Amino acid sequence: MLIHIIIVVAGKVQGVGFRYSAKQAALEHNIKGFVKNLDDGKVYIEAEGTQENMAAI
């Protein structure tokens, strides 16, 4: 069973490698999706994976 989640992260998340770290974690756990910076300084994440893979992060 696949799980699809949407996350919006606020705080010091732009300019500190947050998107890169999120991508690396997703690749390590076979999670698909994307991460993008929003104009208001937040980061938007959509991710999809098995329950086991999502729980591993």
* Domain range summary for the chain, segments of one domain joined by +: 2-55
Q: Is 4 annotated in the active site?
A: no
- Catalytic one of 14, 29, 37, 50: 37
Please provide the average confidence, as pLDDT, over all residues in the chain: 91
- Catalytic one of 9, 19, 42, 54: 19
pLDDT digits (tens, 9 = 90+) for 31-53: 999 998 899 989 999 999 999 99
- DSSP notation for 35-50: EEE-TTS-EEEEEEEE
Residue 14 has pLDDT above 80, yes or no: no
Residue 19 has pLDDT above 90, yes or no: no
DSSP state of 1: -
Backbone angles phi, psi at 14, to 5 degrees: -105, 135
The structure tokens listed for 39 are 């104009």
Instruction: Kindly state the percentage of the chain with pLDDT values over 90.
Output: 63
Looking at the structure, give the CATH architecture of the domain made up of residues 2-55: 2-Layer Sandwich (3.30)
Q: How confident is the model at residue 28 (pLDDT cuts 50, 70, 90)?
A: very high
Q: Is 37 annotated in the active site?
A: yes
